[in-house]
Amino acid sequence: MNTVSLFCDFTVAIPTYNGAKRLGEVLEHLKWQLGTENITWEVIVVDNNSTDDTKAVVQKIQQGWPRLRYAFEAKQGATYARQKAIRLARSPLVGFLDDDNLPSAIWINQAVKFFRAHPQAGIAGSHIRGQFDCELPANFERIAPFLALIDRGSKPLFYAPDKKVLPPGAGMAVRRGAWLENVPNNPVLGGRTKDSMLTGEDMETTLHIQRAGWEVWYNPAMRVEHKIPAQRLTRHYLCDLMRGIGLSRHRTRMLSVSRHPKYLMTIAYAVNDTRKMLQHVAKHRAAVWQDPVTACEMTLYFYSLVSPVFFLQMYLKQAWTNSQVLDALTHKPEVAIQDQYI
């Protein structure tokens, strides 16, 4: 079927920020999906407050492709864009692609097939390989998963909750109902923006769904190529990325804590992060500062250690702001009455 009905089987959601130059290739890969004769599907591009020609690019492609839809989300962050897509989707299944993800020709077919065969699956992650336009740093494989590059073998793999390992949001497909029932509208981790590298939004949303009893899987038949430019392989970018991942860890760690008091687990994680840092220095010595990948790992350990302090500061700042707003609202009527009386 080539037309999009009011209800369909699968929605491809593509959040993008200033993706005008990247979207065309992603959409072209989607146009050539195979094995979808008995699958009705749609594509929603969520413009996450872009300042380039993203809207015009999508509208031009829409003219010859009725299954493509455009949506705008002003609040920046991948989670907010994905929330928008979930609300607008006409299907029970939603697959997420970033604007630099190129799905294989059977990605939709294999996603739908997997969920039909696994009724308890709430999430299925893709096999994701990288496309690079420069030479990779030495030992890059040690940090590859943090750039959403995932290869967990040729067979489907169940992500057991106690393993603390989950798929990235890029290339991930979800049951829309599981998301709507369990992911809060205002998550703590919204995703990276032009002003912040704080990340962890993928793990936060996935943990909410997993904690509700839904299964999370890796499906190697869902294959995606991730285009990674040279700029994202520089030491500066990679360390910033690791800093954002590390700072988010207190939130995602506490979401996975259920059997022990959170304050005890915070202490246990701090001890473990300190141990990792000391072992890292003892093992790599000067390379901790000289080698980009080793420096990235050290950055991750350090900011994981300070993550609880970061969130404490964030909550205190938010509480202070809220108290000021409440104080202003409480006293404003009195000021107005006094002014009128005078």
Q: How far is CA 176 from the centre of its chain?
A: 16
Q: Are 79 and 169 in contact (CB under 8 A)?
A: no
Q: Which of 305, 254, 251 is nearest to 277 (CA)?
A: 305
**Average pLDDT along the chain:** 91
What's the token pair of residue 322? Answer: 């809220």
> Quick one: which H or E segment has residue 114?
helix 107-117
Per-residue pLDDT at 328: 66
What's the token pair of residue 237? Answer: 């970018």
Q: Which of 148, 144, 215 is nearest to 175 (CA)?
A: 215
Furthest-apart CA atoms within the chain: distance in Å: 79
Q: Which domains does the chain have, with CATH numbers?
A: 10-230 (3.90.550.10), 240-317 (no CATH)
Could you tell me which residues come within 8 angstroms of residue 235 by beta carbon, excluding any fewer than 6 positions away?
Answer: 292, 295, 296
What's the token pair of residue 319? Answer: 């509480």
Task: Locate the DSSP E strands across the chain.
Answer: 10-16, 41-47, 68-72, 93-96, 101-103, 121-132, 157-158, 173-175, 215-228
Per-residue pLDDT at 331: 60
Q: Which of 124, 175, 176 is nearest to 150 (CA)?
A: 124
Per-residue pLDDT at 293: 97
DSSP for 225-269, written as a single string: EEEE-GGGGSHHHHHHHHHHHHHHHHHHHHHT--SS-HHHHHHHH
* Ranges in the chain, pLDDT < 50: 1-4, 332-342
Per-residue pLDDT at 215: 98
Q: Are 242 and 146 in contact (CB under 8 A)?
A: yes
Per-residue pLDDT at 209: 97
* Rounded Cα–Cα distance for residues 272 and 199 (Å): 21
* Rounded Cα–Cα distance for residues 172 and 178 (Å): 14
Q: Are 91 and 10 in contact (CB under 8 A)?
A: yes
Torsion sign (Cα): 232, 236, 238, 240: negative
Q: Are 176 and 91 in contact (CB under 8 A)?
A: yes
Per-residue pLDDT at 315: 87
Cα–Cα–Cα angle for 252, 258, 262, nearest 5°? 70
Q: In 3-state terms, what secondary structure has residue 120?
A: coil
Q: Which of 221, 107, 224 is nearest to 153 (CA)?
A: 221
Q: What is the tens place of the pLDDT at every residue in 97-138? A: 999 999 999 999 999 999 999 999 999 999 999 999 999 999
Q: What is the tens place of the pLDDT at every residue in 312-338? A: 998 898 888 777 666 666 664 443 323
Give 136's DSSP letter: P
- pTM of the predicted protein model: 0.89
Per-residue pLDDT at 260: 78
